Amino acid sequence: MRVLMVSSLWPPEVLGGAEQYAAALAERLQLAGHVVGVVTLGVEADGVVATVPSWPYPIQDYAAQSAVRRAGFHAADLARPDTGRILDRTFAEFAPDVVHSHVVQGMGATALTRTRRRGIGHVHTLHDYWLLCQRNSLVQRDGSACTTRCSSCRVMSDIRNRQISARPPEVVIGVSEAIARLHLAELPWMRGRTRVIYNPVERPRPRVPRREDRAVTFGYIGRLGIDKGVHTMVRAFERARVGDARLVVAGEGPEAPTVQAVDGVDARGWVSGAEKDAWFDEVDCLIVPSQWSDPAPLVVNEARSRGLAVIGSTAGGIPELIAPECVALLVPPADVDALAAAMERFVAAPSEFTPVAESQPLDWNGHLEAIEVAYRAASASASATERGDRTPLAGVPFPDARGSSSSAGRD
């Protein structure tokens, strides 16, 4: 099968997990015998067959722009005629059997509608909230989570989704039930075509069991931002009665000074590769204190696959990913006292919260199977539409959220 990936960014240009996942999926698809090409927003990289010019500035420079220039970027994102022209040319030259779009901020809604003109199956994965929020995060300027959608986001969302509803992707994949539900509640065009497939995780080498006489080490890894709950976490660590327990923080971001100012917190900065594996070996309990609606933080699956306990907030898709043994450690977002109590609960009995071997997240083999079924479903639906048939997509066999083949997916 010839698969065309559409993604604003692509490694080595990386801002988040979506483009890293898309690149990893492309590699797995190629190993499975598929041909993969990529369309990006101004990023030249291996496998890229076409680029849409990034205007008025590269999307990876967005955070450094003034409010006026950011507003200009959002306005341009409503109508990008060059995206349509470049996709049409790429469809003709690359001849994809299916298009798989990911984060398309900066390319405009055209990136999600153009396939319908060619009868090409289209799968879109919801990694963020771009269809509902101009910042794609449901987070306010100060980094706090939105409690309601602001008027400007509603206006831009309405314009964008009116375009898409006329020519929507055949299949929409949510990376969690939480992100799927939120979109389905707001966007009628997604009903009947939205399914959940959780992100996969590599199977790591076996973890060395912790020594009972060793002081507990809590860990956080990721971007250091207010929306990630970093400030709440360090305040809870200061307040918790956890003896000589440590908190090891890996990551960079605006909250780095907050982390560095707390006694007993070891700020490591950014880690990756073998250094990241060593960090996981050092940690006894991962903390994921997100205050925004984090759709599906991959770090939860990474910890779970290693048999590592997780204290997580109830925001977004985190509760869906937590191992059953760790449900008692879930806490409300931004609740310092509750997070401190969860730390104390873990220190009192670490072994009670260790995920068992049978409690594993979806691996790449199961995930790839699920994605391939989604591609076939989208292609079949697009072909039926081109013939004038109206065979409902729900009638096509589809994998469940864990990736195993089953009957029709869920709305």
d(CA 288, CA 325): 16
Same-domain pairing of 13 and 126: yes
pLDDT, one tens digit per residue, over 48-102 is 999 999 888 888 888 788 888 988 888 888 888 899 999 999 999 999 999 999 9
- Residue 402 forms part of a structural domain: no
**pLDDT: is 390 or 15 the higher one?**
15
Task: Please report the beta strands in 362-410, taking only residues with DSSP state E, as ranges in sequence order.
Answer: none
User: Is the confidence at residue 399, as pLDDT, over 50?
Assistant: no
Range of 312's domain? 217-353
**Domain identity same for 140 and 30:** yes
| pTM to 2 decimal places | 0.89
**Does residue 191 sit in the same domain as residue 166?**
yes
Residues in the chain: 411
Quick one: pLDDT band at residue 409, thresholds 50, 70, 90? very low
Please tell me which residue, 392 or 210, carries the higher pLDDT value. Answer: 210
Using alpha carbons, select from 75, 7, 72 the residue that is nearest to residue 42. Answer: 7
CATH at 313: 3.40.50.2000
Q: Are residues 42 and 140 in the same domain?
A: yes
CA distances from 247 to 148, 272, 279 (A): 33, 18, 12
Statement: residue 394 has pLDDT above 50: no
Residue pLDDT, tens place only, 212-260: 668 899 999 998 989 999 999 999 999 999 999 999 999 999 899 999 9
3 state SS of 40: strand
- Whether residue 349 is found in the same domain as residue 369: no
Query: Is 184:196 a contact under the CB 8 Å cutoff?
Result: no
In a domain, 207, yes or no: no
Residue 187 belongs to some domain of the structure:
yes
| Joined tokens for residue 70 | 């950011």
259 lies in the same domain as 161: no
> Do 174 and 75 fall into the same domain?
yes
| Strand ranges (E), 21-178 | 35-40, 48-51, 98-101, 121-126, 171-174
Q: How many domains does the chain have?
A: 2
